[in-house]
Amino acid sequence: MYNGRHVSPRRLLVMTRILLLLVGLVALVAGSAGAQTPAPKPAAPPAGKAKALPTALITLEKGGEIVLELFPQDAPKHVENFVKLVSQKFYDGQRVHRVEPKFVVQFGDPQSKTLPLDDPRMGSGGPGYTIKAEFNKRPFERGVLGMARTDDPNSAGSQVYIMLGPASFLNGKYTAFGRVVTGMGVVDQIRVGDRIKSIKIVTK
């Protein structure tokens, strides 16, 4: 019901401004609250099984087996090269031509199949090509598999060595591309002239 009171235009204008101000404040508070609410994070994908690293099996002619685990994530070209040579039976029948106590056991010279062990050419042979260095953060600890080379960092080919003990001075200067997972006791008993019966890739 009309009460007979008259609202002046000025008073009406003031009331309208107050109403708009209140509406704006409400919208501002609502927007601020929405901005403070973090968006839900997408669900993480289910964790799958980690891919197994490739492994190789060395069998010595005098008996004994050594299982190697290769590091394609650290030295992909070296692993690829080693796997290729193994598939070609490149190492089968070779002899170990170098043993340095508490340091390395080395093989991979194709000349070792026939050359006398004291021949000055022993240890100089290779596959007929070289591959580029892939220096990485793998430390040269006991059991690590490294690639031998000359003073040229990119001169590696087929000769590899197994560490008999740690050698930190090799870190970052030679390519580590695998390690012994079983059979270090067999490695410790290797002597110069011991022949490799076979090397086979067990898993790729």
pLDDT value of position 29? 47
**Domain that residue 124 falls in:** 55-203
Widest Cα–Cα separation across the chain: 128
Q: Is residue 18 part of a domain?
A: yes
Average pLDDT value over all residues in the chain: 86
| Domains of the chain: total | 2
Residue 184 lies in a domain: yes
* Residues 194 and 94 placed together within one structural domain of the fold: yes
3 part of a folded domain: no
Question: What number of H helices and E strands is found in the chain?
Answer: 3, 8
Q: For 125-170, how does the pLDDT look when each residue is reduced to its tens digit (9 = 90+)?
A: 999 999 999 999 999 999 999 999 999 999 999 999 999 999 999 9
Amino acid (1-letter code) at residue 177: F
CATH number for the domain including 190? 2.40.100.10
Q: What is the CA radius of gyration of the chain?
A: 35
The pTM (predicted TM-score) of the whole model is 0.76
pLDDT-derived band at 204, boundaries 50, 70, 90 = confident
Q: How far apart are CA 5 and CA 141, in angstroms?
A: 98
Q: Both tokens of residue 110?
A: 């194709």
Proportion of the chain in helix, strand, coil states, percent, rounded to 5: 25, 25, 50
What is the arithmetic mean of pLDDT over 49-71? Answer: 93
Q: Rounded distance, CA 2 to CA 49, Å?
A: 80
Is residue 199, in this structure, part of any structural domain at all? yes
As beta bridge partners, residue 99 has 105
**CB 96, CB 194: distance < 8 Å:** yes
